[in-house]
Structure 1
């Protein structure tokens, strides 16, 4: 590659890179140009000095000066006008080319693909009651040894209280036909687009997976909903409490058509799922008393949504989760927060919301979020009456059953101090959760297989299913 070609290729790649990553380019280009000037100047100065020393040693300086003034531009004249080394030009051209190639790979993503199971059924095939199976088939992805699984499409309700469809998985110990208790699970954030359903991914039981395998082996049926809008057709209402709670409870109702269930259920959930679990516990007595919820375990749950969103909109806040909430709530409640931030912010937020927190697609989501100059939902938005009312309305209370709230002390997504404050407020309101905080654990490691939460959660769940009284409430 000639120097001229290197310059042209580098400039073209830089222009394309700027179009793909406008904010990052504006932030980094001045620093990159300054670095190039410093490095290039240092290389030229060093090369000039070395050439000068060599000419002095060889006694060629005078001869080189004479040839330089002779107008023919001989060898010495060329040496007196050093050029930027070819390797430096090639490196400068290669950097934007490589970044552009990485951009293409990132934007290809790796979202799960939805097969025909998730397609909308014929309306005549859909029962009018919530908690009924529309479609079912065997499911084997990551099902524990000694267990059998199914995935189901079932009826439930959406954030407007209207009939809707959701998908879920059901996992039961093999060779146990008698009615067994259920452990209903709300999953953590995977995205807000249809392909982000955990049952469509290669890791459908992420979040306390080891504990789930143990309770299934001990004789419980695991029921894990994808929520409305993830997998099945519909709109996902991110952190809408009543909708998520109904999705969890209706999944258990529907699972009873696939596998005989006893009227005894413990509800689990991590992060977004912890929020869903708390709401399911609150709704159960009036919405689905036959499910028999006897306990709720929430791990790093989204609780005080006003405080949480202020965190997400502040310096260092998670721009992906902020964009998910802005896009989902705009579409669910017609709040118009994206438009308030301008067309570029709205476009970037939509790009983030089209991606899942799965594999390479998560990198694409974070990369798109890095182009946002600030939070999509934040600032003055939080002072708007309709936004403030939605945040308050979707903040959960503690159900009137034994409740375990587990929190990592090093969590930067749902901070421990915010969780402690919420627990104190619930205690002051006369509620009695049990709060356990694990020092050094963050949002992900709290539910890792090796987490100390695993053993405590399994023991706590077995006690609830056995009808033992709860002990050691925090309040």
Structure 2
């Protein structure tokens, strides 16, 4: 009799403890989901949740199944230990804490799956789905190390709610049958199963979405066209081959893919590719020439604009189409070295970009059936704006046979040091920094950038560097950027040798022709403040600049077809050709 009474008290105590732990798990999960919290508090609650779940597992009241006693205790203590580490190790990086929490989630998921096989059919189904959900959730935290902060809030919060509710349901289901009707017992059991299936499907959807978003696109690698036959001519700007281009060509225009010689940053001759476009109805007159520097597309060969199904879509594409089909101009766009052709692309290395642009203009003049002027106007957006300004800066020395009539930079990367400093914590800034880290590590080996990245960023840098920054790849590149936990370069690196190189590659003039700089005032990447300060500095140095700002337009909106800049850019370019006096604002 006394033995039975003691058993009843023990069982009652176990049930009360289980109920308290289950309610605590639910409460922590609800707070994580519904309350906006700072990351330290969020991590603290997640750690506390691991402790609660671990204690529930140790005592066998977590509803995870009837696994072996020592297995249950080991898994529970591991979860408690992980929770304590998360709570106590305040100086650890988010990636380190994620590894701790991931290990606990995966261990608890395995425990749930194994323990479920000792129960009935409904328990097996529920254990399989809830355990698999915990394992998959843990792996997703590794795939999305920074977005895992949100996973901590929502997914881990939902997991805590589920574990708590599962434990409460288990306590109800295990009540003596004399005190429960069979129907109520079945409802409790299958409610647990239904909840497990729903949680698993939600996590599975996250996993499938992750695969789709991070995969990028399947664009082709460069074919034999992009490989030159050795030996190369000694001089830059020689057209090596050309082929007719049909994809992405506006109505009323002809286009070609070209391969030509140019020079690397170390002055050695190499090859670059590009595209040229001209009116289909050219007559016999000499055509005015637009030389266009394209914006960021990536740093690996398959990211070349000439490989894209829309090779003329970069930057102010609508304005380019008007210039060709309505005003009878020709245009040429360099891919830049390393895009299309072999070798590392010298990303945002000013002289290299400019040489590629000028040599493309030289090569286009050698196309059969084209009679092009040696006078040219240069355009560029973003990275291309940087390249356009550098093209004007070195044209007189590098290609004196070309005469620049005007230089237009749309949201140009004009002050690289300030750009890197201002954007170091943003997604776009981390993506650009990843390209710089990979490209400049080879272009400027003395910097040893690969050895001076912030801890935890190298994996993201490697992934981003192999992705392009256009078409579907741009989504994957930016998402990878969100997963770099902190700025790519420590401040000490920015303030040291890297900062010096960034300043060296910032255009400072003087320029031999009128300069137009256009800036969207809602641009989060190339910020208006940075541009205004750069323009003010150039004006103070005596360089007249026509600086135009556009309220409400962001980085890409500035060069969209419906942007107010489009007709202004066309007219400004026509004015330069007509010899109209420039209208600088300083």
TM-score normalised by structure 1 residue count: 0.89
2: CA distance between counterparts of 1:66 and 1:142? Answer: 73
Alpha-carbon offset, residue 94 of structure 1: 1.7
Taking a change above 3 Å as real, the CA distance of residues 397 and 86 of structure 1, as seen in their structure-2 partners, is: same
2:575 — aligned with what? 463
Alpha-carbon offset, residue 26 of structure 1: 6.2
> Which secondary structure state, in structure 1, belongs to the residue aligned with residue 408 of structure 2?
strand
Q: For structure 1, which runs of at least 5 residues remain unmatched after alignment?
A: 52-63
2:143 — aligned with what? 20
Is 1:410 matched with 2:518?
no
1:54 — aligned with what? none
Taking a change above 3 Å as real, the CA distance of residues 248 and 45 of structure 1, as seen in their structure-2 partners, is: same
Alpha-carbon offset, residue 224 of structure 1: 0.7
Is 1:210 matched with 2:322?
no
- Give 1:219's match in structure 2, choosing from 328, 348, 370: 328
2:355 — aligned with what? 246
Taking a change above 3 Å as real, the CA distance of residues 145 and 83 of structure 1, as seen in their structure-2 partners, is: closer
1: CA distance between counterparts of 2:307 and 2:240? Answer: 17
2:375 — aligned with what? 264
Alpha-carbon offset, residue 228 of structure 1: 0.8
Residues 273, 336 of structure 2: 8 Å contact kept: yes
The range that moved more, 16-25 or 322-331, is 16-25
2: CA distance between counterparts of 1:453 and 1:407? Answer: 9
2: CA distance between counterparts of 1:342 and 1:363? Answer: 23
> Which secondary structure state, in structure 1, belongs to the residue aligned with residue 199 of structure 2?
helix
Is 1:359 matched with 2:471?
yes
Is 1:93 matched with 2:200?
yes
The range that moved more, 269-278 or 171-180, is 171-180
Deviations 1:170-196 (A, max 9, x none): 101123243212101111111111111
Residues 222, 341 of structure 2: 8 Å contact kept: no
Alpha-carbon offset, residue 15 of structure 1: 4.2
Is 1:309 matched with 2:413?
no
1: CA distance between counterparts of 2:156 and 2:525? Answer: 35
Taking a change above 3 Å as real, the CA distance of residues 292 and 415 of structure 1, as seen in their structure-2 partners, is: same
Alpha-carbon offset, residue 155 of structure 1: 0.6
Alpha-carbon offset, residue 33 of structure 1: 2.5
1:230 — aligned with what? 339
Taking a change above 3 Å as real, the CA distance of residues 277 and 458 of structure 1, as seen in their structure-2 partners, is: same
Taking a change above 3 Å as real, the CA distance of residues 437 and 195 of structure 1, as seen in their structure-2 partners, is: same
1: CA distance between counterparts of 2:222 and 2:133? Answer: 42
Is 1:190 matched with 2:297?
yes
> Which secondary structure state, in structure 2, belongs to the residue aligned with residue 153 of structure 1?
strand
In the TM superposition, 1:18-417 aligns within 5 A as 18-25=141-148, 28-29=151-152, 31-38=154-161, 41=164, 67-68=178-179, 75=182, 78=185, 85-124=192-231, 126-176=232-282, 177-205=284-312, 206-217=314-325, 218-258=327-367, 259-314=370-425, 318-334=429-445, 335-341=447-453, 344-384=456-496, 386-398=497-509, 399-417=511-529
- Give 1:448's match in structure 2, choosing from 545, 557, 560: 560
2:30 — aligned with what? none
Moved over 6 A (4+): 42-49, 79-83
Residues 403, 432 of structure 1: 8 Å contact kept: yes
Taking a change above 3 Å as real, the CA distance of residues 425 and 150 of structure 1, as seen in their structure-2 partners, is: same
2: CA distance between counterparts of 1:344 and 1:11? Answer: 24
The range that moved more, 413-422 or 17-26, is 17-26
Residues 267, 295 of structure 1: 8 Å contact kept: yes
Taking a change above 3 Å as real, the CA distance of residues 375 and 421 of structure 1, as seen in their structure-2 partners, is: same
Q: For structure 2, which runs of at least 5 residues remain unmatched after alignment?
A: 1-123
1:4 — aligned with what? 127
Is 1:433 matched with 2:535?
no
TM-score normalised by structure 2 residue count: 0.73
2: CA distance between counterparts of 1:349 and 1:256? Answer: 39
Residues 120, 232 of structure 1: 8 Å contact kept: yes
Residues 338, 349 of structure 1: 8 Å contact kept: no
The range that moved more, 310-319 or 75-84, is 75-84
Alpha-carbon offset, residue 115 of structure 1: 4.0
Task: Indicate the structure (1 or 2) with the bigger Cα radius of gyration.
Answer: 2
> Which secondary structure state, in structure 1, belongs to the residue aligned with residue 457 of structure 2?
helix
2: CA distance between counterparts of 1:106 and 1:75? Answer: 47
Residues 164, 234 of structure 1: 8 Å contact kept: no
2: CA distance between counterparts of 1:118 and 1:349? Answer: 30
Alpha-carbon offset, residue 98 of structure 1: 2.0
2: CA distance between counterparts of 1:323 and 1:304? Answer: 18
Taking a change above 3 Å as real, the CA distance of residues 34 and 310 of structure 1, as seen in their structure-2 partners, is: same
1: CA distance between counterparts of 2:521 and 2:386? Answer: 18
The range that moved more, 375-384 or 398-407, is 375-384
Alpha-carbon offset, residue 80 of structure 1: 11
Alpha-carbon offset, residue 231 of structure 1: 0.8
1: CA distance between counterparts of 2:213 and 2:453? Answer: 25
Residues 165, 234 of structure 1: 8 Å contact kept: no
Deviations 1:316-336 (A, max 9, x none): 663211211221111211222
2: CA distance between counterparts of 1:186 and 1:12? Answer: 48
